[in-house]
Structure 1
Amino acid sequence: MERTAVNPWAWSLDFGYNQAEIVEGTRRQLICAGQTSVDADGRPQHPGDMRAQVGRALDNLEAVLAGADMTLANVVRLSIYTTDVDELLRCVDVFGERLGPAGVRPPSTLLGVARLAFPELMVELEATAAD
């Protein structure tokens, strides 16, 4: 798979994402359901702690990717839903710590929402991956 960043402006690079990517030579695509801060039984974890919830949601996303023999390096699109945009922006470094070593800046969208599936949840990650 070959990825070519498309960035008519550079400001998004400071936030860890490309405006777009041309993805060529893929053979499989994985569409992931939204991943949140829940345990293996689906119970919400880390109520009130955005940083911990982002970390756990990324852990869960990585587990789904691993189930398809993929990693964060395969993520070509990331949508982030949060009940508190300002608090999530204070934790954006967590994404950089995880996506940076994977060598990716997937095109992303950040949306503020009124509520997620469980009231304790503050963030949900929805990804598309390819290889």
Structure 2
Amino acid sequence: MSENVRFVPVPSLSEVVEYAYAASIEMPTRLILTAGACPLDEEGGTVCPGDPVGQAHQVMTNLEKALAASGSGLAEVVRTTVYVASGRQDDLVAVWEVVRDRFDGHRPPSTLLGVAALGYRDQLVEVEAVAVARRAPHRERPGPTG
């Protein structure tokens, strides 16, 4: 793995998962690639079985935690993919409304998909994101000495 790539640990999220919650890549702008945020609580249990809207709220909370641990946030997201384990368009739309509302007017490109199944027991929703890192605070450059 390149020294420019760093997988970001997120201590406030469950360690049950078998992947990094986020990765950052050092470039002129640091790029953040998240794993799909799942509706898991801190112990690794799926929240709100049977309730895609309830799961969407937990997913977005978990996505925000992964982004924050990576030095980013929802306002820096440049792309999302939203997966809903349902063949009902009403379920997809209801989940999308939660995702959209959490972005609070920020409108990154997104794909919304209905899928047959997701990886965890009782899981109905997953959201992955690509973001850029927040800019470092402005630092005063020292003036010439002499």
Q: TM-score, normalised by structure 2?
A: 0.66
2:106 aligned residue: 104
1:88 aligned residue: 92
- SS state at 2:38 partner: coil
* Residues 35 and 126, structure 1, Cα contact 8 Å, conserved in 2: yes
- Distance in 2 of aligned mates of 1:68 and 1:91: 25
2:141 aligned residue: none
- Distance in 1 of aligned mates of 2:97 and 2:114: 18
- Distance in 1 of aligned mates of 2:66 and 2:85: 23
Q: Sequence identity of aligned pairs in percent? A: 38
- Displacement of 1:69: 1.9
Q: Which runs of 4+ in 1 moved over 6 A?
A: none
* Residues 83 and 123, structure 1, Cα contact 8 Å, conserved in 2: yes
Q: TM-score, normalised by structure 1?
A: 0.73
- Distance in 2 of aligned mates of 1:109 and 1:68: 22
- Displacement of 1:92: 2.8
- Distance in 1 of aligned mates of 2:131 and 2:49: 28
* Equivalent residues, number: 105
Deviations along 1:17-49, whole A, 9 cap, x unmatched?
A: xxxxxxxx9610011001111011221111011
Q: Which amino acid aligns with 2:48?
A: H
- Displacement of 1:110: 1.1
Q: Which has the larger radius of gyration?
A: 2
Greater relative CO (CA pairs within 8 A, separation 6+): 1
Q: Which amino acid aligns with 2:69?
A: G
- Distance in 1 of aligned mates of 2:73 and 2:100: 15
- Distance in 2 of aligned mates of 1:104 and 1:44: 28
- Displacement of 1:111: 1.4
2:127 aligned residue: 125
**Does 1:29 pair with 2:34?**
no
- SS state at 1:90 partner: helix
1:64 aligned residue: 66
